[in-house]
Structure 1
Amino acid sequence: MRYARFWVVVVLLFSLLGCTSSESLNQRSAKSYQRMVNQMEMFGVVEHDSELALRVQRVFTRLHPIAEKSNQSGSAFDWQITVLRNPKEAGAWTMPGGKMVIYTGLIEVLKLSDDELALILAHEMAHVVKEHGKHQVNISRASYALGLFGSVAASSLVNYAGSAVVLAPEYAVNKPYSRNNELEADRLGLLIMAEGGYNPNAAKALWTKMYEFSGDNNGFLRQLASTHPAYAEREANLAEVLPQALDIYRHTQQATTD
């Protein structure tokens, strides 16, 4: 699995060099994503028809049309999610254009409810529709490619950044997603999940789980703090948009019962 992860890094790094426009970036991202999925298929770690994979697909299918409504890139995203079986990886990440990955470890270790799972997927979708990956374009295209892989790593809610730190020293300087990006994704993600019919009150419980887990596992809390807002900052940010999210959720619930 370690070799497979390194291979994915190399493919992402070199295939995304020189991308600037949304359409071009999304096309190259899709090709890299498919190569990664094919490689993971060879390792036998892609979940297709398991109960967990079907559950992820149900939530994903409900949410991505809602997220797409916030897409202002000028090109429709081709949404796709892959569930990778790895009980030791508690993470999820995205690539430009709507390509997503979630690890079984994130769902199983944290015992995620559907509402909590929806918030994680909606948060990642928010990164996509706000084009936070594209916004990391720097003066150097090579630096951008490294940063883009960092984006893939750091969009993970528990921070799947170990490989990026080793392979891309620039990652320590050019953070893949700024705190503002993360807070923006938190706010939009809460609204997306609410419109999808998932209870936004799950946010507090989820982030409590995430930070408790991070603090108890191999220094992940320090990694999380390097690229993500502090718990108190995150909680205050979500509190600002929670009333709006709850109104949307109640309206959605009422519409489905009428």
Structure 2
Amino acid sequence: MGAAALPAAWAQGVGDDVGKNSAFTKLVPASQVEQAAVQQYAQMLREAQSKNALGSDNHPQVLRLRSIARRLIPYSYEWNPRARDWRWEVNLIGSKQINAFCMPAGKIAFYTGILDQLKLTDDEVAMVMGHEIAHALREHARERMGKSAATNIGVNVISSVLGFGQIGQTLTQYGAQLLTLEFSREDESEADLVGMELAARAGFDPRAGVTLWQKMTAASKGAPPQFLSTHPSGATRIADIERKLPKVMPLYEAARKNG
């Protein structure tokens, strides 16, 4: 069975538009996925530092990103209780790639390309960051690994005979691919919605999702940026965001009033 539904109070936003976690997530221990992410993230930071491409702690953009993250993170806990225990990190990597990500265990990175080329406002950064955090909260990477394990080994064999022995091998195989996992259309749409709510609750204007995807589409020039999945299209995402704005605008307005 999937995870329990979100608390009733959370349905004030997009909670009732988001289903239960996939049963495939249960095939891979969350702790192992998070451990693999921590190791992969640390390796990535070491490589960036060796190339003088890691933003310093006092870099203006690093300070900006971490400030936005501090506002978003408290609203993540209702979506995934494990997030309370994550050692969240936010870093900036010098690269022309228009990309950002949040790995399991709250390991966030932005590339300078997405900030410099798209000239993102704080609200737009919050939408990107919220989207990426949502992937981690909804355990989309864990789900993809579970599906791979089921395909390679067989669900019945895993559950009745092998336990998690061969799952560990699968994690070793896919842990190094956490940055390149391709999420489904449903995953992307869900991350858009959850990310929009996180941003709104933190006091960032969710309407920035529209301008963000307009910028993403304009930057693609026929070849989508790495951050921009080929499905759903930018136009579809914008339409979905506009359709859900009535649900999250009250959260944003309340946050602004109370802030």
Counterpart check, 1:253 vs 2:256: yes
Query: What is the alpha-carbon distance in structure 2 between the residues aligned to residue 93 and residue 74 of structure 1?
Result: 16
Counterpart for residue 187 of structure 2: 181
Query: What is the alpha-carbon distance in structure 1 between the residues aligned to residue 198 and residue 121 of structure 2?
Result: 17
Higher relative contact order (CA 8 A, sep 6+): 2
Residue segments in structure 1 that go unaligned for 5+ positions in a row: 1-18, 155-175
Counterpart check, 1:100 vs 2:108: yes
Query: What is the alpha-carbon distance in structure 1 between the residues aligned to residue 83 and residue 205 of structure 2?
Result: 30
2:211 paired residue among 194, 205, 211? 205
Aligned-partner SS, 2:97: coil
Query: What is the alpha-carbon distance in structure 2 between the residues aligned to residue 93 and residue 250 of structure 1?
Result: 27
Aligned-partner SS, 2:101: strand
Query: Are the aligned partners of 2:77 and 2:84 in contact in 1 as well (CA < 8 Å)?
Result: no
Counterpart for residue 61 of structure 1: 70
Query: Are the aligned partners of 1:93 and 1:153 in contact in 2 as well (CA < 8 Å)?
Result: no
Query: Are the aligned partners of 1:133 and 1:148 in contact in 2 as well (CA < 8 Å)?
Result: no
Aligned-partner SS, 1:46: coil
Counterpart for residue 224 of structure 2: 220
Q: 1:152 to 1:223 in 2, by over 3 A?
A: closer
Aligned partner letter, 1:193: A
Identify the range of structure 1 (143-152 vs 184-193) with the bigger mean alpha-carbon deviation: 143-152
Query: What is the alpha-carbon distance in structure 1 between the residues aligned to residue 49 and residue 80 of structure 2?
Result: 30
- Bigger Rg over Cα: 2
CA RMSD of aligned residues (A): 2.4
Aligned-partner SS, 1:58: helix
Query: What is the alpha-carbon distance in structure 1 between the residues aligned to residue 78 and residue 174 of structure 2?
Result: 27
Counterpart for residue 99 of structure 2: 91
Percent identical across equivalent pairs? Answer: 27
Aligned length: 213
Query: What is the alpha-carbon distance in structure 2 between the residues aligned to residue 190 and residue 41 of structure 1?
Result: 32
Residue segments in structure 2 that go unaligned for 5+ positions in a row: 1-26, 153-166
Query: What is the alpha-carbon distance in structure 2 between the residues aligned to residue 33 and residue 223 of structure 1?
Result: 17
Counterpart check, 1:119 vs 2:127: yes
Matches within 5 A, 1:1-258: 20-48=28-56, 49-72=58-81, 76-86=85-95, 88-136=96-144, 137=146, 138=148, 139-140=151-152, 152-153=179-180, 176-215=182-221, 219-220=223-224, 224=228, 226=230, 228-256=231-259
